[in-house]
Amino acid sequence: FFGALGHEITERTTKSRFDSEKGTIFSSKVTGITKSRDGNPGEKNAKSDSSLVYGDVLENTQSGIFGNYTSTLPNSKLYKVATPDEIKRGNAKILTVISDNKVEEFDINIIRINKESDTKNILFEITDKELLEATGGIVQGMSGSPIIQDDNIIGAVNFVLVEAPEKGYGIFITNMLEEAEN
């Protein structure tokens, strides 16, 4: 069972949560980036391959999408889960894809931690010059990108500040794990 995204999937025109009995996760490759600008969030442009199925989506909740990953997991690093009390302001990283399907690590700065919110827990800004040059900031398609601090997973990217796209929010990974248990 897995959790991803950090927020619900919404219908494009009504912005309401998309209800579905089931979904499928396909392979995809980022083919380009439409950069974010003040007032206009950019997006990852990608091509999916529906013949390469990686899993099923069973639930779409405010904390993310949840389901079963059925493919072989790549040889990836495992991270310890940090509690909200272990998270601190300052340096951290996000893991995301900006080209093809290569996961890369980029520098961020955690500005504020909010333990009272259900979804907007970690306010951060991108400080990585390469990522800012490539994307202009947070873009649609970065949701679910893991946030790492001190070699611990602390959350996932879930929102961009449209008026300041170099800033965004992350949800605590513990909030996502609690939702997965429900």
Question: Among all residues, which ones are annotated catalytic?
Answer: 7, 128, 143
What radius of gyration, in Å, describes the C-alpha atoms of the chain? Answer: 16
If we measure between CA atoms, which residue out of 82, 58, 56 comes closest to residue 150?
82
Can you tell me the distance from the alpha carbon of 9 to that of 108, in angstroms, rounded to the nearest whole number?
25
- In the three-class reduction of DSSP (H, G, I as helix; E, B as strand; rest coil), residue 140 is classed as strand
Q: Is the C-alpha dihedral spanning 43, 171, 2, 16 positive or negative?
A: negative
- E-strand ranges in 62-150 read 64-69, 80-81, 90-97, 103-113, 122-126, 139-140, 146-149
Write the CB contacts of 77 (distance below 8 Å, at least 6 apart in sequence): none
